[in-house]
C-alpha cells in the first residue's frame, strides 16, 4: 500500500489543521511530553487528546516512546516532519495562546508525573510545595 506525496502532504496539513493538534505540536518543541501533561494544558478529556495525538502520529509528525505505564510523545525529526513542522512553528511564532501553553508546560515539568496524572495540576502543585 503506497502512500503518495500528495496523500502524505494532505495527512500532514490536516493533522496540523486543528488548534488542539497545532498547540500540541508547539508544546512538543520543548521536548517530549506524556499524555496527561498535554491533557492538562489543552483542558480536554484524555480520550480526546489521545485521538488527536493518534492523528499526528498517523501523519508522521509525532513519535512515541513507551516507558512502563507512561507513553512519551515527541516531534518526529525526519525530512517529512520537519518540512511541515518548521513552517508551522514559524507561522505561529509569538502567538499568545501558544506562549501561555509553553509557560504552562514549564510549570508542569516541575511536577512529578505520578502526581500530575492521578491528582491533577492543583493537587500535585500543593503536594510539591508542601514537600519543598
Partner DNA sequence: ACTACATTTCGCAATGTTACAAAATGGAGA
Partner DNA sequence: TCTCCATTTTGTAACATTGCGAAATGTAGT
- Options 32, 60, 70, 92; binder of its own copies; rule CB under 8 A: 92
Q: Which does 58 bind (CB under 5 to 8 A by kind): its own copies, DNA, none?
A: none
Gap between the Cα atoms of 30 and 33, Å rounded: 9
- Options 1, 2, 5, 69; binder of DNA; rule CB under 7 A: 69
Of 12-41, binders to DNA (CB under 7 A) are: 14, 17-18, 20, 34-36, 39
Q: Which does 69 bind (CB under 5 to 8 A by kind): DNA, its own copies, none?
A: DNA
Contact between 103 and its own copies by CB under 8 A: the answer reads no
Q: In the complex, what is the shortest distance from the CB of residue 11 to DNA, in angstroms, rounded to a whole number?
A: 10
Q: Grid coordinates 506525496 are at which residue?
A: 5
Grid cell for residue 118: 492521578
- Closest to 62 (Cα-Cα) out of 24, 92, 111: 24
Stretch that binds its own copies, among 3-11, 41-49, 103-111, 118-126 (CB under 8 A): 3-11
Three-point CA angle 105, 106, 111, nearest 5°: 90
Order of strands, sheet of 70-75, starting from the edge strand that comes earlier in the sequence:
33-34, 70-75, 62-67
Amino acid at each position: 500500500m503506497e502512500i503518495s506525496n500528495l496523500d502524505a502532504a494532505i495527512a500532514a496539513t490536516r493533522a496540523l489543521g486543528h488548534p488542539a493538534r497545532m498547540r500540541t505540536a508547539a508544546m512538543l518543541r520543548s521536548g517530549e511530553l506524556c499524555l496527561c501533561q498535554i491533557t492538562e494544558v489543552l483542558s480536554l478529556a484524555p480520550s480526546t487528546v489521545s485521538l488527536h495525538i493518534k492523528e499526528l502520529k498517523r501523519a508522521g509528525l509525532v513519535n512515541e516512546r513507551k516507558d512502563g505505564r507512561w507513553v512519551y510523545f515527541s516531534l518526529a525529526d525526519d525530512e517529512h516532519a520537519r518540512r511541515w513542522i518548521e513552517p508551522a512553528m514559524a507561522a505561529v511564532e509569538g502567538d499568545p495562546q501558544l506562549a501561555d501553553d509553553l509557560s504552562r508546560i514549564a510549570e508542569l515539568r516541575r511536577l512529578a508525573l505520578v502526581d500530575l496524572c492521578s491528582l491533577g495540576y492543583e493537587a500535585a502543585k500543593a503536594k510539591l510545595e508542601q514537600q519543598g
